[in-house]
Amino acid sequence: MSLGASIAVVLGRVSTEDTDRVIETIQALDPAVSGETCEIVIADRLQDELTGRIRRDYPHVRIIDCPAGMTLTEMRTLAFEASNAPIVAVTEDHCVPAPGWAATLKKAFDEGGPELVAVGGSVVNGVTDSGLDWATYLCEYSFFSPPVAQGQSDILPGMNVAYRRNALEAVPRGLLVSGFWETTVHPLLLRNGGRFLSLNELVMFHKKRFSWGLFASQRFIYSRYFAGLRFGDAALPKRAAASLASLALPPVLLMRAVKAARSKGLGKEMLRASPYLLALYCVWAVGESVGALKGPGNALAMIE
């Protein structure tokens, strides 16, 4: 634990590919790089050789051992509860903050006033060798590719975001563990009068190199989870209609992605990614179709 830290960085260690990327995350949070001393808490459901390496080489990092089947949202909640700093930042085990990231966060909260409860930023692709690399990034994060909205915004990325601790402590624990915070916690914070701030200069690099099989399976799982959460309590006719309508998603998603990429100056990258993206959008559509009809199942526990 880092005594006197103003920022706690919490994350779940779940990645089954590119697993040692978390070392870059830890190194990027060194105060000489990030600009502030950070408390780092990692909830770990892998408990492998890399876990031992982190404990040995980075003793200031707190690791919480978690059961293999624990959901990522439960893990993040445990890490949050084990931390102490007044600002709580959330990221993922394959995301690397840019130099000065922590100093930018601290300055934003210092100047934002007590009604500022969350600050988020942009997400930059840090793995760019192949069309598949671009597809996995654009499929998830094209909206948050810079430039993002600058100033007050109701939409912040779930893996480059920080909160005032007192705002999170006012959220019922059941809401913290029930789903990803951008869909469960953010609406409550806004309804309670909190203000969000979006900053282009708060940069996070997305640096996971996925295999096709892993990303496609994760896309299906997340889509099933999303649609199951949305339609799980609906009557069968409504679920059946949503299931059928989901199958029309691929061309709609591809058109949206092309428009977003062009607006961000990523037209060439979109061209490289488009064959993979179209296939991923088909997987996305099937996942939502299954989720709408059958519910989320155990999808939340399978997301990494």
Phi, psi (deg, nearest 5) at residue 263: -65, -20
Coil vs helix vs strand at 84: coil
Q: Hey, what are 288's tokens?
A: 């939502």
Domains of the chain: 7-206 (3.90.550.10), 212-302 (no CATH)
Pairing relationship of beta strands 116-125 and 195-206 according to DSSP bridges: parallel
Q: Hey, what are 229's tokens?
A: 């959460």
Q: What is the mean pLDDT of the chain?
A: 95
What single letter denotes the amino acid at residue 180?
A: F
| pLDDT value for 232 | 83
| pLDDT value for 2 | 61
Residue 106: which pLDDT band, with cuts at 50, 70 and 90?
very high
pLDDT at 231 over 80: yes
What span, in angstroms and rounded, lies between the C-alpha atoms of 39 and 25? 13
What span, in angstroms and rounded, lies between the C-alpha atoms of 220 and 288? 8
Q: Say if residues 3 and 83 touch (Cβ distance below 8 Å).
A: no
| pLDDT value for 4 | 78
pLDDT at 22 over 80: yes
Mean pLDDT of 287-294: 96
Q: Say if residues 235 and 243 touch (Cβ distance below 8 Å).
A: no
The region that residue 263 occupies, defined by phi over 0 for left and psi between -120 and 50 for alpha, beta otherwise, is: alpha
Q: Hey, what are 155's tokens?
A: 């939409």
Angle at 251 between CA 249 and CA 255, to 5 degrees: 115
What span, in angstroms and rounded, lies between the C-alpha atoms of 6 and 301? 31
* Alpha carbon separation from 301 to 34, 69, 70, 186 (Å, rounded): 32, 6, 6, 21
| pLDDT value for 3 | 61
Is-cis flag, bond preceding 147, omega within 30?
yes
Coil vs helix vs strand at 154: coil
Q: Hey, what are 210's tokens?
A: 């996925």
Residue 1: which pLDDT band, with cuts at 50, 70 and 90?
low
Residue 260: which pLDDT band, with cuts at 50, 70 and 90?
confident
Which residue shows structure tokens 């890490």?
A: 79
pLDDT at 262 over 70: yes
Give the rounded percent of residues in the chain with a pLDDT score beyond 90. 94
Coil vs helix vs strand at 142: helix
| pLDDT value for 218 | 96
Q: pLDDT (tens digit, 9 = 90+) per residue, 77-93? A: 999 999 999 999 999 99
